[in-house]
Structure 1
Amino acid sequence: MASLTLTNVRPWDAAPVDVMITDGAISDVVAAGTADTSGETVDGRGLLALPGFVNAHAHVDKSWWGQPWVSYGGEATTQGRIAHERAERDKYGIPSVDGATAVLREFLRHGTTATRTHVDVDLGIGLRGIDNVRAAAAALDGAVEVEIVAFPQDGVVRRPGVLDLLDQAAAAGASNIGGIDPASIDRDPVAQLDGLFEIAERRGVGIDIHLHDGGELGAFQMELVIDRTRRAGLHGRVTIAHGFALGELPAQRQGELLDALGEVGISWTTVAPVPSAPLPWRDMCEAGMPLGLGTDGIRDLWSPYGDGDMLRTAQRFAQLHRLRADDDLTRAVGLASTAGGDFVHRTGHDLAPGARADIVLLDAENVPDALVRTPRRRLVMAGGRIVAGDGELVL
């Protein structure tokens, strides 16, 4: 069995330990200096150790990362961005294996070792984007574990044939199927949700719905999703992404929705965009709702921003929610790491025995210091293999 010992690291700024790794998983964690170091060892130099980051909401299929600069164009609305992307994507070779590989490599360089990524499925590209993302993950030999959401960016029922493509994607192994703004995109929320939940029930997959609509329109669609989740018995299998409306509602309305969302086990992902309203994140966690962070798109035809660094996303979340106390700053980092395990079907994603040996080392005094400075990743280990050092890939 392949074994390695990572010596003298500070997990979550606790006392120094040695981490023993066997066949890609953490086999034991002991006080620093007490592990058997007769085999292969890596000196952790007393650095801060965190679990590999988990990007719970990505779009790795449609980035122009590594290509010449693409100027922003089109209208700055959801419908406008969809139309612009459809008109321009072929010009930039989107989707492609090389493009997805470039994004996944950036993920690894910054310490992200698992992701749930939405991959566009539509009448123009069929399932080609999913094939490309799988090929990109294979090219990195599984260093980044990738869970796929077949995503109908251009709508579900307004484009005849998209539901069939989602069904095909689920049959071919996609872990989740997506939806998008059932009211404002398809203008028929019941039809969209009926179609998605029928596939999910029959194929045994999850549902991950983008919900941008704000205010009471967004709240109304949340109620529809809650009702369908309850009736379908998909407790713990449904995720709402963005869900901007939740942060915009009065406290009493928020509380009513949180009780219902928690009851049926609906999880939530956010990319913490700065102009959005803060989420009642503490209440969400207390209601038992899994909450994960993601980058959204990275240098794509929706936005030129992004670099794949989940620590920066956690920092933005902390700034948006005006977090200052050390405990809260540490919890924000936890949302980008341990909490993300729920979104990629991992249990116990942490620096503990039994977990996959995904470890990030940083030269930081403590976790809050790492969050506010986002220092270079001194070492990134994925499945027990060193894949990056001093901010550069060695894979």
Structure 2
Amino acid sequence: MKTTYLEPEKGNYTLKNVLLETGFIWKEDYIEGTQTEQFCIEIKNGKIDTISPNNPQLPDAIDAKGLLMLPAFKDMHTHLDKTLYGLPWQAISPKRKTVADMIAYEQQIIPKLLETSVHRTGLLIDLLQNYGTSFARSHFNVDTTSGLRSLENLQIALNNKKESFSTELVAFPQHGLYYTDSAPLMREVAKMDCVDFIGGLDPYGIDKNIEKVIDFTVQLALDNNKGIDIHLHDLGKEGKYTIEYLIQKVKENPQLQNKTFVSHAYVLAYLEQNEVDEISEKLAEAKVGIISAIPYRDKKMPIARLIDKGVDVLVGNDNIQDYWSTLGTGNILQKANLIAELYAWETEYDLSRTLRFATNNILPLDNKGNMQWPKKGDKAEFTLINASCSAEAVSRISPAVAFAHDGNLYWKRREILV
């Protein structure tokens, strides 16, 4: 199914009957619920200009119909250039069990997939928007099989959606820097203004040299004023050392703080509690973040402990109906729901905090229940949800009805067959 939208409302407009969270409802010593009120919100030049008491009779205002306004949904790790979405159903093969197996498979299929990747990327963005997501950090392949064609096609697809969707782009050497000779291509792409992060893949597992890969990646980021976002599936002492060595390099180059991330970092799920605490403290001190797609086989990532120690934890769907995994839905609110289930965050307070994983850490209420979003001057980027509060939205994975991006407001119209 594909969701279509009415022509967007642009420029200056006012919404009435907008439901906002205003505080927590306390009962004795615990939070029983969330207070909400309806407001009028005026948008000017893509920003929130005024938030005023509701006036249901306000002429010419767009009726939000009591829908809950939440911060814009953001998927912080995905691969918009690699999807089977829009093609006939295909489950993953049990024959391909390792990253090296997948690299060999990609080398076979990428040339054919690139022929239709612009169209399928557009369909994948439609799917994300159906769930209220209007921003993604997307990795794109840089490899010797396709050169920079993945980026070229991705840019065309993104340009087609430029008014309703935006991205941060990560140059990703999916086939290794040295396992295939991708380092020259990475040097080339790192110079491009459209690229925000330098990616990486399993320095030990694929390229068999942790220091060489990390040193190259760090220097490329420094030379081109980029961030870093490395995929790390390696386990054991090599996986742990990769994180520790990256932390060391970031501490040596403070300009990379708050711009460096380790995606997946599955090794953390295998560490003892004291080891998790130790490496979490190092990550927090160096301001190196972790990005997770959450589930990992029968292991549970120590997300709660990382957050308790002050680590910036972001969440993404990663693979969405592609040949790496057929389980991704594209719904970032569903990821927040999964986190709540895994960690038994079931109270009104805990569920409301879990929304952060769908909104890149922006919440309507602070931890004490004070309103902190939206405010005058904020970008008009939000999602309108059929829910009474954040906690319900997370618990019930409530449907998105509309979203605003860069001030443009898009309402769902109907669903049609792709």
Output the TM-score relative to the length of structure 2. 0.85
Please say if residues 376 and 390 of structure 1, whose CA atoms lie closer than 8 Å, have aligned partners that are also in contact.
Answer: no
In the alignment, what sits opposite 1:345? none
Deviates more, 1:217-226 or 1:378-387: 378-387
Structure number with larger C-alpha Rg = 2
For the residue of structure 2 that corresponds to 1:336, the secondary structure is: helix
In the alignment, what sits opposite 1:352? 375
For the residue of structure 2 that corresponds to 1:194, the secondary structure is: helix
| Equivalent position to 1:379, from 402, 406, 412 | 402
Deviation of 1:351 after TM superposition, in Å, equals 2.8
In the alignment, what sits opposite 2:87? 67
Q: Does 1:10 align with 2:10?
A: no
Distance change in 2, residues 1:327/1:215 (3 Å): farther
Query: AA paired with 2:14?
Result: T
In the alignment, what sits opposite 1:212? 233
Separation of aligned partners in 2, 1:58 and 1:187: 25
In the alignment, what sits opposite 2:301? 279
| Equivalent position to 2:173, from 149, 152, 156 | 152
Separation of aligned partners in 2, 1:128 and 1:340: 34
Separation of aligned partners in 2, 1:15 and 1:100: 38
Gap regions ≥5 residues in structure 2: 1-9, 22-33, 364-371
In the alignment, what sits opposite 2:318? 296
Separation of aligned partners in 1, 2:360 and 2:153: 28
| Equivalent position to 1:191, from 212, 224, 227 | 212
In the alignment, what sits opposite 2:389? 366
| Equivalent position to 1:105, from 107, 126, 132 | 126
In the alignment, what sits opposite 2:45? 23
Distance change in 2, residues 1:230/1:272 (3 Å): same
Number of aligned positions between the proteins? 383
Gap regions ≥5 residues in structure 1: 342-348
Separation of aligned partners in 1, 2:137 and 2:399: 24
| Equivalent position to 1:257, from 244, 265, 279 | 279
1:310-355 deviation per Cα after TM superposition (whole angstroms, max 9, x unaligned): 11111122222232222222222112104279xxxxxxx9533222
1:176-217 deviation per Cα after TM superposition (whole angstroms, max 9, x unaligned): 010111111111111101111111111110110011122433
Give the superposed CA RMSD.
2.3
| Equivalent position to 1:89, from 104, 107, 110 | 110
In the alignment, what sits opposite 2:7? none
In the alignment, what sits opposite 2:4? none
In the alignment, what sits opposite 1:172? 192
Deviation of 1:94 after TM superposition, in Å, equals 6.4
1:69-89 deviation per Cα after TM superposition (whole angstroms, max 9, x unaligned): 224224122222222222223
Separation of aligned partners in 2, 1:26 and 1:114: 19
Query: AA paired with 1:353?
Result: K
Q: Does 1:33 align with 2:47?
A: no
In the alignment, what sits opposite 1:163? 183
Please say if residues 95 and 129 of structure 1, whose CA atoms lie closer than 8 Å, have aligned partners that are also in contact.
Answer: no
Please say if residues 274 and 316 of structure 1, whose CA atoms lie closer than 8 Å, have aligned partners that are also in contact.
Answer: no
Deviation of 1:295 after TM superposition, in Å, equals 0.5
For the residue of structure 2 that corresponds to 1:323, the secondary structure is: coil
Query: AA paired with 1:167?
Result: R
Separation of aligned partners in 2, 1:293 and 1:299: 17
For the residue of structure 2 that corresponds to 1:229, the secondary structure is: helix
Deviation of 1:390 after TM superposition, in Å, equals 5.8
Please say if residues 149 and 208 of structure 1, whose CA atoms lie closer than 8 Å, have aligned partners that are also in contact.
Answer: yes
Deviation of 1:392 after TM superposition, in Å, equals 5.0
Which has more strand, going by share of residues?
A: 2
Distance change in 2, residues 1:354/1:130 (3 Å): farther
* 1:302-341 pair list within 5 angstroms: 302-339=324-361
1:342-390 deviation per Cα after TM superposition (whole angstroms, max 9, x unaligned): xxxxxxx953322221221222232222222223222222222222426
Please say if residues 378 and 391 of structure 1, whose CA atoms lie closer than 8 Å, have aligned partners that are also in contact.
Answer: no
1:118-143 deviation per Cα after TM superposition (whole angstroms, max 9, x unaligned): 00101111111112222111101331
For the residue of structure 1 that corresponds to 2:177, the secondary structure is: coil
| Equivalent position to 1:52, from 67, 72, 78 | 72
Separation of aligned partners in 2, 1:391 and 1:319: 31
For the residue of structure 2 that corresponds to 1:100, the secondary structure is: helix
| Equivalent position to 1:79, from 88, 97, 100 | 100
Query: AA paired with 1:307?
Result: T
For the residue of structure 2 that corresponds to 1:236, the secondary structure is: coil
Specify which structure has the bigger relative contact order, considering alpha-carbon pairs within 8 angstroms and separated by 6 or more residues.
2
Please say if residues 67 and 384 of structure 2, whose CA atoms lie closer than 8 Å, have aligned partners that are also in contact.
Answer: yes
1:145-182 deviation per Cα after TM superposition (whole angstroms, max 9, x unaligned): 1110000111112222x122122212112000101111
Please say if residues 138 and 167 of structure 2, whose CA atoms lie closer than 8 Å, have aligned partners that are also in contact.
Answer: yes
Deviates more, 1:98-107 or 1:271-280: 271-280
Separation of aligned partners in 1, 2:362 and 2:240: 25
For the residue of structure 2 that corresponds to 1:364, the secondary structure is: coil
Deviation of 1:289 after TM superposition, in Å, equals 2.3
